[in-house]
Structure 1
Amino acid sequence: MDETIFVRSLEDQLCFEVYKASNGFSRMYGRALKPFGLTFPQYLVLLALWDEDHVFIKNISDRIGMSIGTMNPILNRLATQGWIEKVTSDIDKRAVVVTLTEKSQNEKKAISKAILNEIINCDMTDINNDAFLNGLKALNREFDHLEEDSE
């Protein structure tokens, strides 16, 4: 291991750049989602549901990587705003199934367009998106393995 990482300035730390990029993505998506009354975490829930609708809260929680305690207030706000419906499962009365509403189906294209406009405005054309995404996925897999090993 290259121990010089411990003497680098803040601006030369990978963790700091990832932190700043994460905040930047949150702000960018926040601008795009504001007209729809959505937050970035709410959008992540909708993305998961657009992939697979009519699922248990636990499925969404596991997929996004949020605890159910964090997820419940997000889902409650989405339900109150008419984006989703929450119904007790017929199979397991302790479980809740989340389903997209007509509103969320109808607004998907408009939301996607608003996000695309923000991405275009950020001019990320010089970034190799596939390579960057693959690098982040590899990094997250390593973090997941560390979590599993520590349990």
Structure 2
Amino acid sequence: MVEPVLLDEQLCFSIYRAQKAYNHFYGKVLKPFSLTYPQFIAMLALWEHGTMSVKELGHHLELDSGTLTPLLKRLEADGWVNRNRAADDERRVDVSLTQKAEDQKDEIYERVGGCTNYLDFSSDKYHELRQSMNEVERHLNAIQVEEGQF
């Protein structure tokens, strides 16, 4: 018989709790801008890569269009992004940042960038943790689990 791993000893539960805490924390930090964490990461991708299609943005954020489209509609309604059909392919919708987004970029970066200080991690510790999470993700993505295997 396999010995069960208790809830508080589960790596997945630790990651889940940390992710919830992170999103809650960022929710407070982003509140003055009326942005949610998922909206913020969409804008980060656009600031980094510029105008891109909804499909490309979804690829960067690992979100499907069913999740991404309502998020982008809200960002557009709030004046952060524009969504336009591509001239060369009407099936493609391109997303670009508005002047409002460009004008508030530095203030948002400054506010969010200060959050790392609250963690009280050295730069090395911060990068080590990020690398560890990336390693967990790589290992999980490499596992080929067939239905009913376990």
TM-score range for the pair, normalised by the shorter chain length: 0.7 to 0.9
Query: 1:36-79 CA distances to partner (integer Å, 9 max, x unpaired)?
Result: 00000000100110111110000010110111000000000000
Q: Is the 8 A contact 1:55 1:97 kept in 2?
A: yes
Q: Does 1:56 align with 2:53?
A: yes
Of residues 4, 10, 19, the one that matches 1:13 is 10
Gaps spanning 5+ residues in structure 1: where?
A: none
Q: Within 2, Cα distance between the matches of 1:146 and 1:8?
A: 20
Of residues 22, 25, 30, the one that matches 2:27 is 30
Q: Does 1:44 align with 2:41?
A: yes
Q: Which runs of 4+ in 1 moved over 3 A?
A: 124-127
Answer with 82-91 or 112-121: which moved more. 112-121
Q: Within 2, Cα distance between the matches of 1:134 and 1:22?
A: 15
Count of matched residue pairs: 146
Using the size of structure 2 for normalisation, the TM-score is 0.88
- Cross-structure match for 1:103: 100
Letter in 1 for 2:40: Y
- Cross-structure match for 1:79: 76
Q: Does 1:66 align with 2:63?
A: yes
How far did 1:137 drift?
1.2
Gaps spanning 5+ residues in structure 2: where?
A: none
Letter in 2 for 1:128: K
Q: Is the 8 A contact 1:57 1:97 kept in 2?
A: yes
Fraction of identical pairs, as percent: 28
Q: Within 1, Cα distance between the matches of 2:13 and 2:121?
A: 20
How far did 1:118 drift?
3.0
Q: Within 2, Cα distance between the matches of 1:24 and 1:58?
A: 29
How far did 1:126 drift?
8.7
